[in-house]
Amino acid sequence: MLRIYNTLSRQKEDFKPIDEKAVRMYSCGPTVYSFAHIGNMRTYIFMDIFRRVLKYDGYKIKGVMNITDVGHLLSDSDSGEDKMEKASREQQKTPWEIAEFYTNIFFEDLKKLNISRPEIIAKATDHIDDMIKYVQALEEKGYGYEIDDGIYFDIAKFPSYGKLSRLSLEDQQAGARVEVNNQKHNPYDFALWKKAEPEHIMQWPSPWGMGYPGWHIECSTMSKKYLGSTFDIHTGGVDHIPVHHENEIAQSEALEGKKTVNYWVHGEFMLVNNGKMSKSLRNTYTVSQLEDMGYPAVVFRYFCLNAHYRKKLNFTFEGMDAAKVSYSRLLSALYQHKMSQEKTSEEVLAKYKKDFEDAINDDLNIPLALGVLWTMTKEKKSKDIFELALEMDKVFGLNLKDAKLDVLDAQEDIPEDIKKMAEERLNAKKNKDWATADSLRNEIKAKGYSILDSKDGYTIVKD
């Protein structure tokens, strides 16, 4: 039974889907006005792990992710220049071109990181009419009111506002810039729909004149459209708890008059040198930049999997170097199992399988599950171990099937006489002296080592 930490209750809960046929899951997607950074990617790796664990447990999933291509405002408050338009002005492209460009790169990054795409990808600009209808419905129910620059949600009408973050309004907004707008009933009321100035490029006709949707309304509208008025899981990064998800809850529950999400699950942040990573601070890296620096995307994935999703993860290049070495050793260790013809007993295999399943089902404890995999690699070499590792890799997504030798790793601690015999064997092979080559191989084997031939030579491993 999967247990998952619900931000709403602040505890681990048994996961019970509404409908056994398919788990319904919504994940806040990227704002596509610039490159997604590796911090963003940590959150999507967490989403992917969650999806993989659900699949491993036998569930089907209907997942939705939005693409914010409208651009939301510069800060979480409702003022400032639209992010998409800022990028558009700086790069001399239309906001639509900007959005398409960065959306494509985002999907390439997902692919590189083995992140499975949610079943439904919903672009905000394709759902403007749905959002207008949603805002109208909130207005009809008395939750929305119109002022000069837009339609706002009336927080005073929703007394449980703040239940997800457990913060008072003042605490939540501390530090956030709140626009002084005398027409708002309450300074913390947020925009459902904004009326556009003529120079605003992205704008659509609405009952309130030309304008564009608020950011939060996107997620409430699209989750309802594809997943229904109540669904199972909503994911996102912890930064979304106080404003974005609080506002989503206010909108959705105001409209439906009931709980709309059963499990709110949030991924912790990635830091850089123990500080905040953000596009605006310009201390971010992209997956492609890491690749250019010699860190394959899968190594970054491995780096992320070594930390639990509810723990902060500090990104450093020392950490990435360690991940690179460790990942390579893992592949190397598994390769030796892959090449073995030996068997492992059912009991031993069953125990590792159970330990693995217990770990992943305990609030997605992937670091512990990786520990199980590592311990398992230390068993006597056997093909069965490799097969079980591949089964586990349905969750890890670490390309373990590509297990190959890490020459550096494998050559460690090999005695000189063995190395010498291996060289002699290679020469014998080159001279097509198969008898000598075979006898040297047997001699090496008798001393407790094996030669693994590969296309660029051979590697010696301890049996």
The footprint of ligand AMP (CB under 6 A) covers 28, 30-31, 39-40, 42-43, 236-237, 239-240, 269-270, 277
**Nearer to ligand AMP by C-beta: 190 or 356?**
190
Question: In the set 4, 28, 49, 370, which binds Zn ion (CB under 5 A)?
Answer: 28
Q: Which does 52 bind (CB under 5 to 8 A by kind): Zn ion, ligand AMP, none?
A: none
The CB-of-161 to ligand AMP minimum distance in angstroms stands at 20
The CB-of-239 to ligand AMP minimum distance in angstroms stands at 5
Tell me if 219 contacts Zn ion by CB under 5 A: yes
**Nearer to ligand AMP by C-beta: 39 or 144?**
39
The CB-of-218 to Zn ion minimum distance in angstroms stands at 7
Q: Which does 309 bind (CB under 5 to 8 A by kind): Zn ion, ligand AMP, none?
A: none
The CB-of-214 to Zn ion minimum distance in angstroms stands at 11
**Nearer to ligand AMP by C-beta: 213 or 237?**
237
**Nearer to ligand AMP by C-beta: 152 or 269?**
269
**Nearer to Zn ion by C-beta: 28 or 64?**
28
**Nearer to ligand AMP by C-beta: 30 or 144?**
30
**Nearer to Zn ion by C-beta: 68 or 361?**
68
Q: Which does 31 bind (CB under 5 to 8 A by kind): ligand AMP, Zn ion, none?
A: ligand AMP
SS (H, E, C) the chain: CCEEEECCCCEEEECCCCCCCCEEEEECCCECCCCCCHHHHHHHHHHHHHHHHHHHCCCCEEEEEEEECCCCECCCCCCCCEHHHHHHHHHCCCHHHHHHHHHHHHHHHHHHCCCCCCCEEEEHHHHHHHHHHHHHHHHHCCCEEEECCEEEECHHHCCCCCCCCCCCHHHHHCCCCCCCCCCCCCCCCCEEEEECCCCCCCCECCCCCCEEECHHHHHHHHHHHHHCCCEEEEEEEHHHHHHHHHHHHHHHHHHHCCCCEEEEEEECCEEECCECCCHHHCCCCCHHHHHHCCCCHHHHHHHHHCCCCCCCEEECHHHHHHHHHHHHHHHHHHHHHHCCCCCCCHHHHHHHHHHHHHHHHECCCHHHHHHHHHHHHCCCCCHHHHHHHHHHHHHHCCCHHHCCCCHHHHHCCCCHHHHHHHHHHHHHHHCCCHHHHHHHHHHHHHCCEEEEEECCEEEEEEC
The CB-of-76 to ligand AMP minimum distance in angstroms stands at 11
> Using CB under 5 A, which of the segments 71-79, 82-90, 134-142, 214-222 binds Zn ion?
214-222
**Alpha-carbon distances of 131 from 5, 322, 340, 458, rounded to whole Å:** 30, 47, 58, 62
Residues 6+ apart with CB under 8 A from 97: 88
**Nearer to ligand AMP by C-beta: 250 or 277?**
277
**Nearer to ligand AMP by C-beta: 312 or 445?**
312
Q: Which does 239 bind (CB under 5 to 8 A by kind): Zn ion, ligand AMP, none?
A: ligand AMP
Q: Which does 277 bind (CB under 5 to 8 A by kind): Zn ion, ligand AMP, none?
A: ligand AMP
The CB-of-313 to ligand AMP minimum distance in angstroms stands at 8
Q: Which does 270 bind (CB under 5 to 8 A by kind): Zn ion, ligand AMP, none?
A: ligand AMP
Residue nearest to ligand AMP (CB): 237
**Alpha-carbon distances of 249 from 80, 98, 119, 192, 215, rounded to whole Å:** 24, 30, 23, 13, 13
- 338 token code pair: 């892959």
**Nearer to Zn ion by C-beta: 192 or 392?**
192
Q: Which does 43 bind (CB under 5 to 8 A by kind): Zn ion, ligand AMP, none?
A: ligand AMP
The CB-of-416 to ligand AMP minimum distance in angstroms stands at 48
> Using CB under 5 A, which of the segments 84-92, 211-219, 292-300, 436-444 binds Zn ion?
211-219
Question: 236, 211, 220: which is closest to 150 by C-alpha?
Answer: 211
Q: Which does 237 bind (CB under 5 to 8 A by kind): Zn ion, ligand AMP, none?
A: ligand AMP
The residues of the shown chain that bind Zn ion, judged by CB under 5 A, are: 28, 219
